[in-house]
Chains A and B, each alone.
Chain A
């Protein structure tokens, strides 16, 4: 088995072509000087990035308010999600790794649960539950509770419901490797609890905190299933892309996708670097 046959090698090569073909096609046709994202090749252009719409009737990504607003909406969701995922994930990891109490195994299992629920079901259940809460509270308080209605705040909650599991797992894995005698030494030397946390524990956790934040940012930015159910009138990027793909998009969508690929490549290499520091 250690000398791979020619057929096997050929299969591996074909597999990697298959893996990258769709991404390459998307990237290449972002530069095609044609109003449609399809062959033939009509020459190189940057119009789908920075064009003002004079060449093909539709503007490039960086000039189109639709795309810019969507990217802005995605950031409005992804940044709070990433920050909350890191903070709450750290507290959860602490509970899982440090605390001793009855029912801990049960709590740990519950924390894994969101991963086996389909995203669409997470979306509708949160939508229905928060609508009921909003209806009840509005009758009682006689005010409008818009954050509980479909919209970006609800998208944040929906995405957190499963991203918290991921961030908790990443941070808990790092906390497990921590040598507690370091903390005890610092306490013996007269440091306060807060100071130990700030100067010993958190610096040790830092790679995992950054890693968890980046993964959360990425998952939030790219989440589609849960977001689709909870979105109001402000569409984050994946929702806009989906809409454009259904009705036939201009190559501007290829340009957006290329930005996404570059962003993902950047974040993935940052994550690889932080997890290498962790190992």
Chain B
């Protein structure tokens, strides 16, 4: 009986072990090894940290990496500021059907493919696009205005893509805020700003952390939005990985870049969790 139970458990665990082993763990071991191999002659590789050295010596690589990290932090901050009033409204002000509808309307655009949303922004922002056309029609501009292919467009597209992942955890966290606590804050003479800063924001902290981590991860790992909205000026690190792997066929270099991206993403997630004392499991569940 005992051995039969063991066999059953073993069989039930087999798919999970195969999945995590063959699709997650071993592939990551593979790129870790690959990232430390250098080509010494055609089809001959040796162990070495040359791919990582190349990253630090070639300015294009580390600048793109730093740019991706800094812009992702900026995008996360902007997303948080833009999303907070919306989440607060959905959680604290809206009631009944209005509330459900506001939340549903937030969800809908994000079920649509990232490429469709990016296409929309390209049609709005480009020289021959809708906004440029409207500006000319209303006489605000006398020639076509190009708003695509710059950092502003990239940030706009990334913030747009991150909003939902910020609003939902924020609204969830604000939902549990006791109205009496807020009233007490006002009764004790707190201004709107004081109440927001001393009561509402601390209460929303788990949501703020969860939302920020998810938005940061999605932004750093994004590919289509910076490439399509930024054009040649997009310069996102994922694009470098793609270039090494697919265009130049330099897999060891691409693998090193992949490890660096993974490191960046994990470090920020870990620091974020550490600073606020949250665990990954509860954070992901918040979303």
Which A positions have Cβ atoms within 8 angstroms of B? 1-2, 4, 8, 11-12, 15-16, 18-26, 29, 36-40, 88, 91-92, 94-95, 99, 101, 107-122, 124-130, 132, 157-158, 160-161, 164, 218, 221-222, 224-225, 228-229, 238, 241-242, 245-246, 253-254, 257, 260-261, 264-265, 267-268, 272
Contacts and interface: CB of A to CB of B under 8 A. Distances in A.
A107 B245 contact: no
B257 to A, nearest CB: 9
Interface string B49-76: 0000000000000000000000000000
B221 A119 contact: yes
B122 A245 contact: yes
Given A2-B92, A118-B262, A224-B223, 14 more contacts: A1-B92, A1-B182, A22-B160, A26-B119, A26-B123, A29-B123, A36-B128, A38-B130, A118-B220, A121-B31, A125-B258, A128-B30, A160-B23, A246-B227
Given A218-B111, A229-B245, A23 B23 contact: no
B246 A116 contact: no
Given A4-B89, A116-B269, A229-B242, A242 B115 contact: yes
Nearest to B164: A19
Top 6 nearest A-B pairs by Cβ distance?
Answer: A22-B120, A118-B221, A125-B27, A129-B27, A161-B23, A129-B30
Contact of A121 (B106, B112, B228, B262): B262
Interface string B262-287: 10011001000000000011001000
A contact patch SS: helix
Nearest to B35: A128
Contacts of A8: 85, 89
B224 interface: yes
Contacts of A157: 23
A222 B114 contact: yes
A126 B89 contact: no
Contact of A92 (B9, B16, B115): B16
Given A116-B280, A118-B238, A261-B112, A245 B31 contact: no
A245 B230 CA distance: 13
A164 B19 contact: yes
By CB atoms of chain A within 10 A, which of B13, B220, B269 has the most? B13
Nearest to B217: A116
Contact of B20 (A24, A111, A121, A221): A111
